[in-house]
Amino acid sequence: MNSASSSTAFMLLLRRDLILAFRRRSELLNPLLFFVLVTAMFPLGIGADPVLLKAIAQGVIWVAALLASLLSLDAMFRSDFEDGSLEQYLLSAHPVSILVLAKVLAHWLVTGLPLLIIAPLLGVLLDLPVDSIKVLMLTLALGTPVLSLIGSIGVALTVGLRRGGMILSLLVLPLYVPVLIFAANAVETAAAGLPITAHLSMLSGLLVLALSLSPLATAASLRVSLS
Amino acid sequence: MISRWFHQLGSPRYFYRFSGRLIPWLAVPCAVLMVAGLYQGLVVAPPDYQQGESYRIMFVHVPSAWMSLFIYMVMAGAGAIALIWHMKLAEVIAISSAHIGASFTFLALITGSIWGKPMWGTWWVWDARLTSELILLFLYLGVIALHNAIDDKRTAARATAILSIVGVVNIPIIHYSVEWWNTLHQGPTVTKFDAPSIDYRMLIPLLLMAVAFKLYYAVVVLMRARCELLERERNTLWVSELAESK
């Protein structure tokens, strides 16, 4: 293990997590199903008026994506915590933040990317125009990794707790606010025919910030949780 | 000399005695300033030319809102000290601050709501400042919930320290994103009142109240920290000596 470089460790861990995820394919579908279901509840709750639906579509889809990513967070470190491999990561010679980044990336590929792929379908259901759907996908591509990265801090803090689920949402949802604002507004602004460069720049900025800082916080949190 | 005093302050026993003597020196000025500020604000200051008498809730509302952010910074600072130097006292100060900060944030929201009803005709608007204050309350509640969920107090303190530092990085981002969101949705609202053009007869009580609130926080955080320290150190010699001597 010591002779391997950190990038090898990163790739190995990523590969392992992806293989584990694809061995349990039915679990892969659950967040996706949840995403579709929550979105489908809104027309049932507020009425099927197409004008109204079009006006709230981007917010509904984004909030549903937020909740779907929140619910899938708990699985990020859970099994590793239970079988003890999380402790092995902390003991290994590689920087924990690199290993954390591999786990977050694997988690995003398994839970965030599918949301991105199914989002156009939901956009059509809620009567979004094609241009808005493109922007929606762009914001999801930039935004959902940030959700996974910020969420990883919350999961790392609550992984040792027996009933961490509720606390996790309390910790993580307030931190999701900026992503939600910039992403949902980008779709709305694009629908009004205005440029969205500023929104996308802000989202990319958030992504870079989360990418560089959150693995450090997650690594520190894991050390605390396992101490 | 100063560093030695600092190290002594880090010892729970020394801190307990020191803070016990310090509290009256903070509490008396706090009471004096608060009475003076309330008298100046409620009796001496003239009614506002637009808002009449109801603006006077400002003398509680604005200092609470200032305290809500100030205490979060203190909490995160104490959390950082606790993480870096493993100082028990900083852990205790951080979690004691969380409860007081949440109370001040709640007070700012409630008084703002009471003020908003006659002024804007509604208890709540999704204005940028209101929204970011609400999110700040959620951040506080998250810190408290996490602290309560972890049984071991030292682990809990370190976990909440990380969380509050993450919060500090996020507060400016949240604040400006909410501000931006609001300006996208609606133009300047009635909520903006001109700070620089405030009458000095209103400014003086406001500043008096601000200082009084700061002192109040200092007193309460010391009292809470003393209580928390006694609970944590209940198996040590100095606490049992303290209990026997009384």
A225 touches chain B (CB under 8 A): yes
Q: Name the more confident of B74 and B184.
A: B74
Does A80 have pLDDT greater than 60?
Answer: yes
A220, closest residue in chain B (CA to CA):
B162
Q: Rounded CA gap, A7 and A5, in Å?
A: 5
Predicted TM-score (pTM) of the model is 0.88
Q: Which two tokens stand for residue B219?
A: 């007193």
Closest of A189, A65, A60, A50 to residue A132, by C-alpha: A189
Task: Enumerate the residues of chain B whose CB falls inside 8 A of the CB of residue A202.
Answer: 177
Share of chain B above pLDDT 70, in %: 92
Q: What is the 3-state secondary structure (H, E, C) of chain B?
A: CHHHHHHHHHCHHHHHHHHHHHHHHHHHHHHHHHHHHHHHHHHHCCCECCCECHHHHHHHHHHHHHHHHHHHHHHHHHHHHHHHHCCHHHHHHHHHHHHHHHHHHHHHHHHHHHHHHHHHCCCCCCCHHHHHHHHHHHHHHHHHHHHHHCCCHHHHHHHHHHHHHHHHHHHHHHHHHHHHHHHHHCCCCCCCCCCCCCCHHHHHHHHHHHHHHHHHHHHHHHHHHHHHHHHHCCCCHHHHHHHHHC
Share of chain B above pLDDT 90, in %: 41
| Span of A29-38, A153-162, B215-224, B235-244 with lowest mean pLDDT | B235-244
Give the pLDDT of residue A138.
92
Interface test mutation site (partner B, options A96, A170, A211, A222, max chain B beta carbons within 10 A): A170
Q: How far is A3 from chain B (nearest CA, A)?
A: 31
Distance from CA of A189 to the nearest CA of B (A): 9
Q: Would B9 be classed as within a structural domain? A: no
**How much is the pLDDT for B187?**
44
Segment holding A189, helix H or strand E: helix A164-191
Residue B5 lies in a domain: no
Q: Which residue would you say has higher pLDDT here, B46 or A148?
A: A148
Residue B194: inside a domain:
yes
Residue A112 confidence (pLDDT) above 50: yes
Is residue B70 in a domain?
yes
Q: Which amino acid is at A57?
A: A
Confidence band, pLDDT 50/70/90 cuts, at residue A108? very high
Does the pLDDT at position B77 exceed 90?
A: yes
Residue-level pLDDT at B94:
93
Q: Residue B190: which pLDDT band, with cuts at 50, 70 and 90?
A: very low
Which tokens hold the place of A105? 């990336």
pLDDT exceeds 90 at position B116? no
> Are the Cβ atoms of B174 and A157 closer than 8 angstroms?
no
Mutate to test the interface with A, among B177, B178, B183, B186 (most CBs of A within 10 A): B177
**What Rg, from alpha-carbon coordinates, does chain A have?**
18
A66/B14 Cα distance (integer angstroms):
48
The pLDDT, as a whole number, for residue B197 is: 58
Determine the Cα–Cα distance for residues A126 and A41; give it in Å rounded to an integer.
11
Question: A162-198 pLDDT, tens per residue?
Answer: 777 788 999 999 999 999 988 988 888 888 888 888 8
Q: Is A206 on the interface with B (CB under 8 A)?
A: yes
Burial of A31 (0-12, 13-18, 19+ CB in 10 A): buried
| Cβ <8 Å between A217 and B162 | yes
Whether the Cβ atoms of residue A218 and residue A100 lie closer than 8 Å to each other: yes
A207-223: pLDDT as tens digits:
999 999 999 999 999 99
Q: How far is B162 from chain A (nearest CA, A)?
A: 7
Asked, for residue B108, whether it belongs to a domain, the answer is yes
Instruction: Tell me which chain A residue has its CA closest to the CA of residue B141.
Output: A170
Q: Do B149 and A158 touch (CB under 8 A)?
A: yes
User: What's at A22, amino acid-wise?
Assistant: F
The whole-number pLDDT of residue B183 equals 59
Contact B162 A202 (CB under 8 A): no
User: Which of A157, A178, A202 has the CB atom closest to B146's CB atom?
Assistant: A157
ipTM of the complex: 0.88
Query: Which of A65-69, A105-109, B129-133 shows the lowest per-residue confidence on average (mean pLDDT)?
Result: B129-133
* Domains of chain A by residue range: 6-226
Question: Is it the case that residue B184 has pLDDT exceeding 70?
Answer: no
**B222 pLDDT more than 90:** yes
**Domain span at B136:** 56-245
- Statement: residue B14 has pLDDT above 70: yes
The chain-wide mean pLDDT, for chain B, equals 85
Kindly tell me if the per-residue pLDDT of B1 is higher than 90: no
State chain A's mean pLDDT as an integer: 89
| CA-based nearest distance A27→chain B, Å | 28
The shortest C-alpha distance from B185 to chain A (Å) reads: 9
Q: What percent of chain A has pLDDT over 90?
A: 44
Q: Residue A2 above 80 pLDDT?
A: no
Tracing tokens 């999704």 back to the chain, one arrives at: B126
pLDDT exceeds 50 at position B56 = yes
The total of structural domains in chain B comes to: 1
Which residues neighbour B204 within 8 Å (Cβ) at sequence distance 6 or greater?
B40
Distance from CA of B173 to the nearest CA of A (A): 7
Phi, psi angles (nearest 5°) of residue B52: 65, -135
Taking contacts as CB-CB distances below 8 angstroms, the residues of chain A near B151 are none
C-alpha B1/C-alpha A42 separation (Å) is: 66
**Nearest CA-CA distance, residue B118 and chain A, Å:** 30
B151 in Cβ contact with B101 (< 8 Å) = no
DSSP calls for A68-135: HHHHHHTHHHHHHHHHTHHHHHHHSSS-HHHHHHHHHHHHIIIIIHHHHHHHHHHHHHTT--HHHHHH
Residue B18 counted as domain residue: no
Confidence (pLDDT) at A155: 93
Q: Which of A223-227, B29-33, B91-95, B121-125 has the lowest mean pLDDT?
A: B121-125
pLDDT at B186 over 70: no
* Inter-chain CB proximity A153 and B166 less than 8 Å: yes
For residue A84, give Cα distances in angstroms to A80, A90, A224, B190.
6, 10, 15, 57
Query: Does some domain include residue B95?
Result: yes
Asked, for residue B211, whether it belongs to a domain, the answer is yes
State whether the Cα torsion A212-A217-A220-A225 is positive or negative. Answer: negative
Q: What is the predicted pLDDT for the residue at B143?
A: 94
Which of A47-56, A153-162, B122-131 holds the top average pLDDT?
A153-162
Q: With an 8 Å Cβ cutoff, are A224 and B162 in contact?
A: yes
Give the number of other CB atoms < 10 A from CB of residue B70: 18
With CA atoms as reference, the chain A residue closest to B168 would be: A175
Residue where the block lists tokens 């005709």 = B121
Rg (CA), chain B: 20
Chain B window 126-165: which residues touch A at a Cβ cutoff of 8 Å? 135, 138-139, 141-142, 145-146, 149-150, 155, 158-159, 162-163, 165
Amino acid B185: pLDDT: 47
